[in-house]
Structure formats: structure tokens, C-alpha cells
Amino acid sequence: MPERPAGWLAAVARRRAVDRRRREATLNRYLPLLITDEVQAGPEPDDDPIGDDQLRLIFTCCHPALGLEGQIALTLRFVAGLGTAEIARLFLVSRATMAARITRAKKKIAGAGIPFRVPAAGELPARTRSVLTTVYLIFTEGYRATAGEQLIRAELAAEAIRLGRLLHRLLSDDPEVAGLLALMLLQHARRRARLAGGRLVLLPEQDRSLWDTGEIAEGLALLAGRPACDYVLQARIAAEHALASRAEDTSWPAIAALYARLEERTGSPVVRLNRAVAVAEADGPEPALRLLAGLDARLPDHHQLPATRAELLLRLGRPAAAVEEYDRALALVGTVVEREFLAGRRRAALKLRRPTQ
């Protein structure tokens, strides 16, 4: 409980209001750029089932004629208001590559005469996958920012959860929608324990009494009876952490198995990276290090790959090699909080490397 509850509530409300104004200003400023002389906004359907301006715009921009990556990039840029560099980091590509994708998508809109209007109820299923990915990437940038002073952008993550709840009301029978909302809730529930004094706190060291039990309960309820799909599997991984009252109670073999299933479905290099972390806890650093082989070409700018390899090398008693990997990670990391954490881990590895005088 803050010392001055009324003042605290007023400050939070003021920040929320400013954030909403900025978001609305972004929409008003950028959406006209999507509608050129060749592209006129189409008529609004009589059966608008969405009922929320922000979500309506996301569905509108996720037009199937654009292609999946173009839809998502354009929506993140002109609806969510993320910068091109932020979107590029989320997609694990260069800024120039992402700028080119956004430009191509805008040209496709003009060249094909794509009407920008709210889709009717029958058109929603064709756009749901893009909308889910967009909401998830908004949450990802809020949960773990790719650059800047702040690691956690709580308002951005909360907005993604708000959109996720609206999607679940709209498409309550879709397991991917339920899985995404559960995943966001289970991860966001840990936000107050992830930093202490401005410093990053890894999951095993987090004070679990700070986790939001209400959000955890809501996330777990959403998973009940859901068939396995990409977001449901990710949410089940988060649920394994949420269900462990102590770090040592975590079922790492179960988490590693879930990541293996997810990798088989998606082929994602990020999933492979996370799987290696789970395998390290379940079976030791050597098999985990083998899983990282070949990922450098697929994740050339991802700081967590060399950071993870450095931790595994430390556990194998190879501090000199770990220092080299920390150097690679420090050259790639974008946020101040993570840079300070990695620098501290590098200093610890450096002490181990030097012989005792």
C-alpha cells in the first residue's frame, strides 16, 4: 500500500489518460497515411461485431491481400504506434529490411485499391491470425522492451491484455485466442518481481509473493480443456512456472517437453533457444549447448543467444569462453537494464578467468 493512496491513484490515472491521448493522437495522425488518393475508405458494415476503436483498426489493417508480415508490420507501425526500429527488433530483422516491408505494404494498398473499412463478421476469421500476432507483439514489446531505459512498458502490456480480452469475448471458442490471453496474463502476473531497485531479477530469484495471483488464476482457467496449439503450448509453459510455489519445485522436464512440441510445430529459432534453457535445467549444460549449435545464422542480432551460451559455458567451467560470449551479447543488447545485468555477469566471469594471486 503506498503512503498516499489518493495521490498514487491520481498519478496512475493521469499517466493512463496521457497514454490514451497519445495513442489516439497516433491513430489520428497515421491512419490517413494508409489511405491514399487511390484508396478510399470503404463503407462501414452494418454488423460491426468488434465494438472497440483500437481493435477495429487492427482488424481493418490486417487485410488478407497484404500478406501476413505486411499486415502485422503495417499495423504495429500505424495503429500501435511502434517505431520501425522497434518492429524490426521484434521480427529479428534489420531496420532497413523492416522499412522496406512497410513501404511495400503501403504500395500494395495503393496499387491494388484495397479498401480500408471495418470487416464484417464473416471476414474476421481470415484476419484473426494476423490480429493475434499483432497483439502478441505489442505485448512482447511491453513485457520486455527491445531498447531504451525501461525493460518493462507496463501500459503497453496492459493494452495488449485489454485487446486480448476483447478478442476472447468476440471469439471465445477459438483456442488460440484463449491461449494468447492466458499466456499474456501468466507472464504479466510476474511484472512486479522482475525488477528490484532497477535491476533485473531472473525468474529463479524472483519473490513469488509479488506475483499477481488473480491474473494467474484467470490465465489457468482459460487453459482448462483447451487443445494443444501454438499459444496454448506457450501458455502451458508459463503455467508450469506459475504453479511452482518455489523455484526448486519447477518441473523443468515438463517445460523442456512442451518446448520440444512447440519447436516441432513452429520451427522457431527463439523456441529452440528457450528450449535450450529448459534442457539446461532438466539435463545439464552440455545437451543445452548442443541445442544452440547453428542458431547464430538464424538469430544474428539476438543478444539472448550469446548471453545464454555464456551462462552455459560458465556452468561448464569455461569462464574465458563465457567472457567472449558476454562481449557479443553486450554489443547487441538494447535496454539499459539488461546491459547492466550482462555487464555484471561478465565481471563475475572475468574474476573466475583470472588466476588467484
Residue 149 binned pLDDT confidence (cut-offs 50, 70, 90): confident
Determine contact, residues 102/74, Cβ cutoff 8 Å.
yes
How sure is the predictor about 309, in pLDDT bands with cuts at 50, 70 and 90? very high
Across the range 284-310, mean pLDDT stands at 96
Residue 192 CB-density burial (10 A; 0-12 exposed, 13-18 middle, 19+ buried): middle
Question: Mean per-residue pLDDT for 80-102?
Answer: 85
Which of 103-112, 193-202, 210-219, 302-311 is the least confident region?
Answer: 103-112
Cβ distance 215 to 194 under 8 Å? no
**All residues at 6 or more sequence positions from 29 whose CB lies less than 8 Å from its CB, including other chains:** none
Coil, strand or helix: which one is 80? Answer: coil
Q: What is the pLDDT of residues 58-84, one digit of tens each?
A: 887 788 878 888 888 888 887 777 888
Q: Does the structure show a pLDDT above 90 at 304?
A: yes
The three state secondary structure string of 142-206 is HHCCCCECCCCCHHHHHHHHHHHHHHHHHCCCCHHHHHHHHHHHHHHCCHHHCEECCEECCHHHC
Count of C-beta atoms within a 10 Å radius of residue 25: 11
State residue 50's pLDDT score: 63
Residue type, 81: G
Mean pLDDT over residues 158-165, rounded? 93
Q: What is the DSSP string of 85-129?
A: HHHHHHHTS-HHHHHHHHHHHHHHHHHHT----PPPGGGHHHHHH
The residues spanned by each domain of the chain are 18-40+49-115+126-131, 251-292, 301-352
Q: pLDDT tens across 317-344, in order? A: 999 999 999 999 999 999 999 999 999 9
Q: What is the pLDDT of residue 38?
A: 38
Q: 78: which DSSP letter?
A: H
Q: Inter-axis angle of helices 5-34 and 154-170, to 10 degrees? A: 70
Please give the model's pTM, rounded to 2 decimal places.
Answer: 0.80
Q: How many CB atoms lie within 10 A of CB 99?
A: 16
Does residue 113 come out as left (phi exceeding 0), alpha (psi in the -120 to 50 range) or beta? left
What kind and span of H or E run contains 66? none
Calpha distance 320→314 (Å, rounded) = 9
Q: What is the tens place of the pLDDT at every residue in 33-49?
A: 544 433 444 444 445 56
